[in-house]
Amino acid sequence: MTKTITMAHGSGGSATRELIQKVFMRSYATMPLLEGNDSAVLPMPASVDAGRLAITTDSFVVTPQFFPGGDIGRLAVCGTVNDLACAGASPHYLSAAFILEEGYSQDDLITICLSMARASEEAGILIVTGDTKVVERGHGDGVYINTTGVGFLAPDVELSGAACRPGDAILLSGTLGDHGIAIVSVREGLSFETDIRSDAAPLYALCEAVLKAAPGTHAFRDPTRGGLASTLSELAEQSRVAMLVEEQAVPVRDEVRGACDLLGYDVFQVANEGKMVAIVPAEQAEAALAAMRSAPYGADAAIIGEVQALATSSEKPQAYLRTPLGSRRVMDVLSGEQLPRIC
Amino acid sequence: MTKTITMAHGSGGSATRELIQKVFMRSYATMPLLEGNDSAVLPMPASVDAGRLAITTDSFVVTPQFFPGGDIGRLAVCGTVNDLACAGASPHYLSAAFILEEGYSQDDLITICLSMARASEEAGILIVTGDTKVVERGHGDGVYINTTGVGFLAPDVELSGAACRPGDAILLSGTLGDHGIAIVSVREGLSFETDIRSDAAPLYALCEAVLKAAPGTHAFRDPTRGGLASTLSELAEQSRVAMLVEEQAVPVRDEVRGACDLLGYDVFQVANEGKMVAIVPAEQAEAALAAMRSAPYGADAAIIGEVQALATSSEKPQAYLRTPLGSRRVMDVLSGEQLPRIC
């Protein structure tokens, strides 16, 4: 077997089978995958609401594929796990599908798969089925990954982006902008005094802790592409409310703030891959905050604002920033492209 | 909004949201999608074994994206539905994730999405969640699609590629090679006396009919990439048996046979996208055949061979062809590439 990917690896013949056995089965080594059937047949876990399941999908085209704090494989697991977590769903089963470019390094592919294996172990999700396609040079970019996750909800969990209510507190689980700035640093060859690392992390344990401490939680959402601005704007639209964020309450690392100033980025539009926004009734906000801070990846959590009613029925549902001087301005949603292929 | 895909459509900002609303939500119009949450939360259907689910994933990179008998959208739905059907799982929920190349036509994208909507309606599966990424020109090829399917099994269904037993009959639901030859015809600008059309079709109804008529069925598998040769070889390995196919019993259209001769292809290695292999105990084979022939897309079904025990413990598990003259030869598994990007 050569050390690069060839078109034959996508043929469905013997080279495909060899790649599956050598790279994917060896890296993940989960039983459903090793059985080698076209579909994985899986048990419904005990202790969940057997009447509901959650499904989410994400493709990953990030460039570069390796960066401080992670790689495309870790991202592909965490991104999908976090979308399940947004529904309050415990992550259980993950599919992993690869589109490889002819000539890609098999060693890099193995490194990525091992990273996926580690991230899925950390997240408590099982890689159960996969697919591999190969495209000719110049029709891909090394490796693109799709992951689709299946999760299950506890009987009493009811979350929705449409459930935010005036008076709710807006919580953020940590510092903004780390992932986006880590990627752009590598891409542009920038170096800052302190290394900025991607925050890519699986957040179900954090969400579970919040749900336990604040069972009235209305919504979770992870501020990935488009950043906090897109996330809050979407929630505002779904719930027909305004979102008011206190600018000085939002945790941002000094070096990330500095990089944003240098690059002309709005940190509220920069992608995060290990942060969660929670919308929680005011009376449960402190409990939710304490739970976040005690949970993995939640040490820097903060209450950053509150949900407000629209002043008039014709007011546009959107997100606002209150500056340290007390003035209020719209939190701009990214309209063009800022950092293409950030995830 | 411009009529081509721009990098901004992958930004996660307002252009992304516009594309989702204009193209995807409008084409599919399913409720879970319209709710716009990060994960779709879905009911477990009644009348299934609540203890088990089936998951399968496939990415589609076929070129060209439009071909006689179908397009990449129909393929993306049918391919995943058929992998669920291989487990005997009724198709219920489908995710659809797109990797678009900058400059791709929005009209073509809409055509593909509408084709997916039609195919999923025919297959009885609901598109419930999605994702869109955009890559720069020269890093994709118009559109790549990943679909991941979730299905459920009836309480008594137990199928596995490892369950084939000596004496079992091998059934094939129709003619071999139509998809592969349809694609190569368009790609190479060949024309044959009769148009050869892709067989892309959803096959769960056919599998369900077989399971009802022949509840002892041991395995289903769809002979896609790598063709019947790969499929039977994989089943032989999983079950540690030999597969003997009577060459003259295998239905092949004359024009497909002619094209294979012309192109130097082995029809047993050519991809199919609307055919199913069933491995059925001998005593239920006729009932299974009758069920296939009465089911959608099964009119040309045939019993094409039988499973045999390995002669010695050291014999390699593989598939064989018996020619009309009675000689037996190994059915060669594709070793290099034949038709890249066939699905």
Which residues touch A165 (CB under 8 Å, ≥6 apart)?
A218, A239, A241, A281, A307
Give Cα separations from A319 to A83, A94, A184, A222 (angstroms): 21, 33, 26, 16
Residue B100: which pLDDT band, with cuts at 50, 70 and 90?
very high
Tokens of A111: 């490194």
Which amino acid would we find at residue B175?
A: T
- Catalogue all structural domains in chain A, each as residue range(s) with its CATH number: 7-152 (3.30.1330.10), 169-330 (3.90.650.10)
H/E element, B56: strand B52-60
Question: Apex CA B324: angle with CA B320 and CA B329, to 5°?
Answer: 25
Contact between A319 and A330 (Cβ < 8 Å): yes
β-pairing, A126-135 vs A169-172, is unpaired
Residues of B in contact with A125 (CB under 8 A): none
Mean pLDDT calculated for residue range B83-112: 97
Three-class DSSP category at B77: helix
Please answer yes or no on whether B61 and A133 come within 8 Å at the CB atom: yes
Residues of B in contact with A56 (CB under 8 A): 38-40, 95, 129
Residue B1: which pLDDT band, with cuts at 50, 70 and 90?
very low
Please answer yes or no on whether B87 and A38 come within 8 Å at the CB atom: yes
Residue A92: which pLDDT band, with cuts at 50, 70 and 90?
very high
Q: Nearest CA to CA, how far is B233 from chain A (Å)? A: 10
Q: For chain B, what is the mean pLDDT?
A: 94
Nearest chain B Cα to A143, which residue? B139
Give pLDDT, residue B45.
82
Of B35, B42, B335, the CB nearest to A15: B335
Tokens of B100: 């678009």
Q: For chain A, what is the mean pLDDT?
A: 94
Please answer yes or no on whether B160 and A87 come within 8 Å at the CB atom: no
Residue B2: which pLDDT band, with cuts at 50, 70 and 90?
low
Whether the predicted pLDDT of A85 surpasses 70: yes
Q: How far apart are CA B57 and CA B54, in angstroms?
A: 11
Q: How far is CA A58 from the centre of its chain?
A: 9
Question: Apex CA A209: angle with CA A48 and CA A196, to 5°?
Answer: 120
Contact between B277 and B174 (Cβ < 8 Å): no
Residues of A in contact with B16 (CB under 8 A): 225-226
Residues of B in contact with A16 (CB under 8 A): 225-226
- Which residue do the tokens 């340290």 mark? A324
Q: Higher confidence at residue A335 or residue B268? A: B268
Nearest chain B Cα to A152, which residue? B41
Whether the predicted pLDDT of A133 surpasses 50: yes
Give pLDDT, residue A322.
97
Please answer yes or no on whether A87 and B41 come within 8 Å at the CB atom: yes
Q: Nearest CA to CA, how far is B33 from chain A (Å)? A: 11
CB pairs under 8 A between A and B: 282
Q: Give the range among A182-186, B184-188, B191-195 with minimum mean pLDDT.
A: B191-195
Whether the predicted pLDDT of A2 surpasses 70: no
Residues of A in contact with B143 (CB under 8 A): none
Q: Nearest CA to CA, how far is B148 from chain A (Å)? A: 7
Mean pLDDT calculated for residue range A49-73: 94
Contact between A301 and A289 (Cβ < 8 Å): yes
Contact between A82 and A202 (Cβ < 8 Å): yes
Q: What is the pLDDT of residues A255-302, one digit of tens each?
A: 999 999 999 999 999 999 999 999 999 999 999 999 999 999 999 999
Mean pLDDT calculated for residue range A206-229: 97
Nearest chain B Cα to A56, which residue? B39
Mean pLDDT calculated for residue range B178-204: 90
Q: What is the pTM of this model?
A: 0.96
Residues of B in contact with A95 (CB under 8 A): 55-57, 148
Q: Which residues are paired to B101 by β-bridges? A: B135
Q: What percentage of residues in chain A have a pLDDT greater than 70?
A: 99
Whether the predicted pLDDT of B252 surpasses 60: yes
Q: Nearest CA to CA, how far is B63 from chain A (Å)? A: 10
Q: What is the pLDDT of residues B15-66, one digit of tens each?
A: 999 999 999 999 998 888 888 888 999 988 877 777 899 999 999 999 999 9
Q: Give the range among A90-99, A138-147, B182-191, B264-273 with minimum mean pLDDT.
A: B182-191
Residues of B in contact with A134 (CB under 8 A): 340
The sign of the CA dihedral A179, A180, A181, A182 is positive
Residue B193: which pLDDT band, with cuts at 50, 70 and 90?
low
H/E element, A145: strand A143-153
β-pairing, B319-322 vs B242-246, is parallel
Please answer yes or no on whether A144 and B148 come within 8 Å at the CB atom: no
Q: Nearest CA to CA, how far is A89 from chain B (Å)? A: 9
Please answer yes or no on whether B334 and A6 come within 8 Å at the CB atom: no
Nearest chain B Cα to A148, which residue? B148
Please answer yes or no on whether A335 and B96 come within 8 Å at the CB atom: no
Note the ipTM here: 0.95
Three-class DSSP category at A335: coil
Give pLDDT, residue A1.
47
Please answer yes or no on whether A16 and B58 come within 8 Å at the CB atom: no
Please answer yes or no on whether A336 and B13 come within 8 Å at the CB atom: yes
Tokens of A333: 């949603």
Q: Give the range among A167-176, A205-214, B194-203 with minimum mean pLDDT.
A: B194-203
Mean pLDDT calculated for residue range A79-93: 97
Please answer yes or no on whether B131 and A234 come within 8 Å at the CB atom: no
Mean pLDDT calculated for residue range A63-84: 97
Tell which of B5, B35, B38, B153 to mutate to test the A interface (max A CBs under 10 Å). B38
Q: Nearest CA to CA, how far is A98 from chain B (Å)? A: 8
Give pLDDT, residue B107.
96
Mean pLDDT calculated for residue range A25-44: 88
